[in-house]
A and B are shown apart, each in its own frame.
Chain A
Amino acid sequence: MRVTWTTEDDVMRLAFRLDAEDEITGLCADGQPLRMATNSCRVELPRTPGEVHPDLRALAAWTIVAPWTRRTVTFDEPISPVLAEALADGWGVEAGPVGGTPRSGSRLAVSYSGGADSVAVAAMLPEAPFVHFQRVSHPRVPNRWTHYRSDVLARLAEKTGRELTVVRSDLEFTLAEPRPGYPEHHAVAAGALLLADELDLGGLAFGYELGSRWLGGDRYLLRYTPDNPMWAPHGAWGRAFAAAGVHIVLPVGGVSEAVTMRLALNSSLREQVRWCLRGVEGPCGTCGKCLYKELIQAAVERRPLRTAVGPKRPVARKWQEPPPYGGQEMIEYGCARVPGVEGTVFGRAAGFLGATEASTAWLDRCYPPAVEEIPEPWRKQVHDFMTAEVGFMSEDEARRVESWGTTRGTAQGTR
Chain B
Amino acid sequence: MECGFVRQHFHDLISDEIDDEHRERIYEHLNSCDSCRTHVENALAFRSRMQELMQASAPPGLVASIMQLSEKG
- Are A and B a genuine interacting pair, yes or no? no
Residues of chain A touching chain B, judged by Cβ–Cβ distance below 8 Å, are none
Q: Enumerate chain B interface residues (CB-CB to A < 8 A).
A: none
